[in-house]
Amino acid sequence: MRRLSAILTATTLLTSPAMAEMLELEKDELTFGFIKLTDMAPLAVAYEQGYFFDEGLFVTLEAQANWKVLLDGVIDGTLDGAHMLAGQPLAATIGYGTEAHIVTPFSMDLNGNGITVSNEVWEMMKPGLTVGDDGLIEHPISAAALQPVIEDFNAAGKPFNMGMVFPVSTHNYELRYWLAAGDINPGYYSPEDVTGQIGADVFLSVTPPPQMPATLEAGTINGYCVGEPWNQQAVIKGIGVPVITDYEIWKNNPEKVFGITAEFAEDYPNTTLAVTKALIRATMWLDANDNANRQEAVEILSRPEYVGADADVIDNSMTGTFEYEPGDVRDVPDFNVFFRYYANYPYYSDAVWYLTQMRRWGQIPDTKPDGWYDEVARSVYKPDIYLQAAQMLVDEGLADAADFPWDSDGYRAVTPAEDIIDGIPFDARSPNTYLDSLPIGLHSGQTVVGNEIQG
């Protein structure tokens, strides 16, 4: 029925003036995986708006139980591609965890995450926070406000536990970044201890995104970092308070990617281009006319086969606002960005940032030369495929050439200090200098041995 719906939708679209250039596809029946988060939206929109079908693709979308199952499905061929954590293709390619060469021709979005704490923790934090003239808590909130809370937990003999979605997730690295910026050590990894809790002041563990609110409510964790709608769900249910968004941690940070195996990209180059074209059109639709289509996107995502959360929960963030405490609704027009700011272009510099965080916390145990970061980034991120697909859309009259970074060398400009929570600029061309500038984290020549940092 879902495929029939896509065919009917696409038949209607084919009567419009714009006609996609049909590639000679090597494979036209595809299955893509996703996790129930609002940033899977490009896949849902490409399906529901008929963009996949315009390219001659018959696509099935399947929700996955967790990120590991999703990655394994892409590697073993059960899935042809998937909505992925940006860290997954990089980690797999360098052999951290499951080893496989995964590539991405398409970054799915910017921003979209938040950090939420329980009501108990929020009440303990509030006395140390500044209230503005409007009577609202001033943002961004530093993790330093958590320090007295952690001390109280320790005095009572209780660990302070927080959830994140996967060891190589943006959420893990953003949560660690926020904590470290507040002088709180989130712990290290080593080849012998992959818990990430060596020397930790706060204990981070994996919880699948849809289970975050229930796990918080049960008291198993005291807070978490996750994508939407699971921060807003905590507000609606009255069980927690989001204290910061990732937009406030790193303005316009990269989030998910669309991942395929390198073998798929090599064996099915035209199919890969066709998929990328459809996804670009979907993200254009999502950001068109100052997010004019977002309410329709909310309705699509609320369906059980996609995210399955109530529309009013998804609406909280997808339409340009974000609710912190109940009733404290603020304008955050860029909370979810799918196309503007060259969001889809797979920048090498984005890949380098993820790799620096893996190194910072010990997932990459030894110092690597700067050139290694560039080499890995180029082996995983494929802007040439993206631009080829974009050029086809421009030629077809379906996209504006001004919306794509044709002259980019794959590296963004240096992220300025004012755009990052710790005030430390990020230059992807000098990853080791950047790592050495971070007060908490492994520096050049350092490794984790046992429970100690040596070097």
pLDDT in tens, 17-34: 455 568 999 999 999 999
| Model pLDDT, residue 108 | 98
Asked if the structure places residue 368 within a domain, the reply is yes
Sign for the pseudo-dihedral over CA of 323, 110, 55, 43: negative
| Model pLDDT, residue 22 | 84
Reported in sequence order, the residue ranges of 219-343 that DSSP labels E, i.e. its strands, are 223-227, 240-245, 257-261, 321-323, 329-331, 336-337
Asked if the structure places residue 446 within a domain, the reply is no
Strand partners, 322: 330
Cβ atoms 150, 137 nearer than 8 A: no
- Label residue 109 by pLDDT band (50, 70, 90): very high
pLDDT > 70? residue 293: yes
Helix or strand (DSSP H, E) at 113: strand 113-118
Q: Which two tokens stand for residue 246?
A: 């990732």
* Mean local confidence (pLDDT), 333-343: 97
Same domain, 152 and 140: yes
Asked if the structure places residue 162 within a domain, the reply is yes
Asked if the structure places residue 164 within a domain, the reply is yes
Same domain, 258 and 155: no
- Label residue 74 by pLDDT band (50, 70, 90): very high
Contacts 24+ apart (CB under 8 A), 425-429: 426/353, 428/348, 428/349, 428/352, 428/353, 428/373, 429/349, 429/370
| Model pLDDT, residue 8 | 40
What average pLDDT is seen over the chain? 94
| Model pLDDT, residue 19 | 57
Candidates 382, 399, 343; CA nearest to 21 is 399
Same domain, 246 and 126: yes
Sign for the pseudo-dihedral over CA of 13, 18, 22, 28: negative
pLDDT digits (tens, 9 = 90+) for 201-252: 999 999 999 999 999 999 999 999 999 999 999 999 999 999 999 999 999 9
Same domain, 276 and 397: yes
Amino acid (1-letter code) at residue 187: G
Asked if the structure places residue 99 within a domain, the reply is yes
Same domain, 223 and 153: yes
Asked if the structure places residue 86 within a domain, the reply is yes
Candidates 418, 423, 452; CA nearest to 439 is 423
Same domain, 127 and 202: yes
Q: What is the CATH number of the domain that holds 358?
A: 3.40.190.10
pLDDT digits (tens, 9 = 90+) for 119-171: 999 999 999 999 999 999 999 999 999 999 999 999 999 999 999 999 999 99
Asked if the structure places residue 438 within a domain, the reply is no
| Model pLDDT, residue 21 | 63
Domain that holds residue 224: 113-251
Same domain, 385 and 258: yes
Determine the Cα–Cα distance for residues 86 and 245; give it in Å rounded to an integer.
18
Peptide bond before residue 89 is cis, with ω within 30 degrees of 0: no
Same domain, 144 and 211: yes
Same domain, 140 and 188: yes
Cβ atoms 9, 282 nearer than 8 A: no
Count up the domains in the chain and report the number.
Answer: 2
Amino acid (1-letter code) at residue 221: I
Cβ atoms 254, 104 nearer than 8 A: no
Same domain, 82 and 48: yes
pLDDT > 90? residue 2: no
Among the candidates 220, 251, 282, a domain finishes at 251
- Label residue 374 by pLDDT band (50, 70, 90): very high
| Model pLDDT, residue 16 | 42
Q: What percent of the chain has pLDDT over 70?
A: 95
Say which residue the tokens 């065919």 belong to.
7
Among the candidates 388, 403, 418, a domain finishes at 403
pLDDT > 50? residue 404: yes
Peptide bond before residue 333 is cis, with ω within 30 degrees of 0: no
Asked if the structure places residue 145 within a domain, the reply is yes
Candidates 26, 126, 34, 52; CA nearest to 285 is 52
Lowest mean pLDDT among 14-18, 166-170, 367-371: 14-18
pLDDT > 90? residue 329: yes
| Model pLDDT, residue 20 | 56
Say which residue the tokens 């195996």 belong to.
261
Same domain, 395 and 266: yes
Same domain, 128 and 203: yes
Helix or strand (DSSP H, E) at 164: strand 161-164
Determine the Cα–Cα distance for residues 166 and 89; give it in Å rounded to an integer.
13
